[in-house]
Amino acid sequence: MQMYFGDVSLCYSYSLAMALDAYGYDYKAEFLEAIMAMGNGASIVKEDDQHPLVFFDNGMPDLSISHSLKILGFDYEDFYLKGGAEVDLEEIKRKLETFLFNGPVVLGPLDMGHLTYNPNHTILYGVDHFVTVYDIDDQYLYLHDPAGFACMKVAFNDILEAWKAEAIDYKRGAYSMWGNFKRLKTPSQTEIYQETAKIMKNRYLNGQNDILDAMQKQLLKTA
C-alpha cells in the first residue's frame, strides 16, 4: 500500500517524500524541505506596479525538487512543456504511464482552484500545489494529495486544467512531473551540507535586492 502523509504548506516536500518512500527510500519531508533551501529571503515573482507578487521563499518548488534529488544522489526523469509548445495529451498520458511503471510520480505545480475534490477549491484559484500519483488506468489517476486527501480517484481529463497551471507564475512549464527515481550514489552528510550551502549561496548572490523596500513603496502608493 502506498504510504500517505502530508502537510499542505509543504506539499512539494511531502509529495516527494511519499514517492521516494514507495521506492524504498525513507526521507522525512522536513529533511527534504531543509535541503531544498526554500526559505531564503524573498523574490518578486510577478512584476506589477500596483500589485507585485512577492514570494517569501527565495527558491521555486519545482526547481527545488530537482535540486534536492541531485543533492541526494538520485537520477530521475522529468517532463514539462514550456510555454508555446504543442500540447499532445495522449503523449503526456503515455509519459505518465511510463513513469508509473517503476513507481509513484510527483505532479506539480497544480492550480488548487481546479482540484474539485477539495471542498474549498473555489477560493483557491491560483494557489500552487503538488501531489503524488501512484496509479493510472484507462480513465482515472489515483493520487495522494498532502492537503489531507488520500487515495483520491480522479479522472485524467479532470486534472488537466489544474496540471496546466496557467495561473502559476513561477512554473518551469505545464504538465510538470518527476519519476523513475534511481539512486546512483550515497553522499555523506558533509557532502549534502556542502551542496545545500552552495545553492543557498547562489540564491543570495544572484537574488534580487531591496525586495521588501520595493513592496512597501507599492503598498504606500495604493493605501
pLDDT greater than 60 at residue 57: no
Residue 118 lies in a domain: yes
pTM score of the predicted model: 0.85
- Which pLDDT band holds residue 202 (cuts at 50, 70, 90)? confident
CATH number, domain at 143? 3.90.70.10
The DSSP 8-state label assigned to residue 52 in this structure reads -
Q: Please check whether residue 110 is in contact with residue 162, taking contact to mean a CB–CB distance below 8 angstroms.
A: yes
pLDDT greater than 70 at residue 40: no
Say if strands 149-155 and 74-81 run parallel, antiparallel, or are unpaired: unpaired
CA R_g for the chain? 18
Coil, helix or strand at residue 127: coil
Residue 61 lies in a domain: yes
Residue 3 lies in a domain: no
pLDDT greater than 90 at residue 46: no
- Which pLDDT band holds residue 38 (cuts at 50, 70, 90)? confident
Cell numbers found for residue 34: 531543509
Q: How many domains does the chain have?
A: 1
Residues making up the chain, counted from first to last: 223
pLDDT in tens, 68-108: 999 999 999 999 999 878 889 999 999 999 999 999 999 99
Residue 215 lies in a domain: no
Residue 126 lies in a domain: yes
- 1 contact partners, CB below 8 Å, separation of at least 6: none
Give me the sign of the Cα torsion angle 53, 124, 179, 144: positive
Residues spanned by the domain of 190: 8-209
Cell numbers found for residue 79: 517532463
- Which pLDDT band holds residue 51 (cuts at 50, 70, 90)? low
Q: Please check whether residue 142 is in contact with residue 129, taking contact to mean a CB–CB distance below 8 angstroms.
A: no
Closest CA to 92 of 143, 145, 159: 159
